[in-house]
Amino acid sequence: MNLKDIKERRTEAGLTQEDLIKKSGLKYGREFLSMIEAGKRFLTKESTLLLSAALKCEPLELYLGQTLSNLHIDLGERDRAVKSALDYIKMAAAIYDVKKEAEGKK
């Protein structure tokens, strides 16, 4: 998973804020995007989906990248935190599957 903030992804794609707003179909203006990039506003589910499609990345990457960058931790710590969180989610899903399978055999 490549966690980058929205501004970094936008500039790497060679897009201005206005370009990204048009490409994504966001119904809010440049000020809204500027506040998101500055960490003054958080992504909504809708804006996450629209921006991730426009920036050609997974919504979870975009959401976690923004959320974790607002915690002000360095990239190494951030990547380790994400890996730990994803490992925990996988473990919880596996436990759930085992429980469901056990319930089905009763």
- Ranges of each domain in the chain: 1-71, 73-106
* Dist CA 30 CA 43 (whole Å): 14
**Residue pLDDT, tens place only, 74-106:** 566 667 767 777 776 777 777 777 777 878 765
How far apart, in Å, are the Cα atoms of 97 and each of 10, 27, 80, 106?
A: 38, 40, 26, 15
**Which whole-number Å values give the CA distances from 46 to 11, 86, 100, in the listed order?**
21, 22, 32
Question: At 70, is the pLDDT very low, low, confident or very high (cuts 50, 70, 90)?
Answer: low
Work out whether the CA dihedral 44, 50, 55, 57 comes out positive or negative: positive
CATH superfamily of 1-71: lambda repressor-like DNA-binding domains (1.10.260.40)
Predicted structure pTM score: 0.59
What gap in Å lies between CA 95 and CA 29, rounded to an integer? 44
Of 4-8, 28-32, 64-68, the one with minimum mean pLDDT is: 64-68
The confidence score (pLDDT) of residue 1 equals: 40
What is the CB neighbour count within 10 angstroms for residue 65? 22
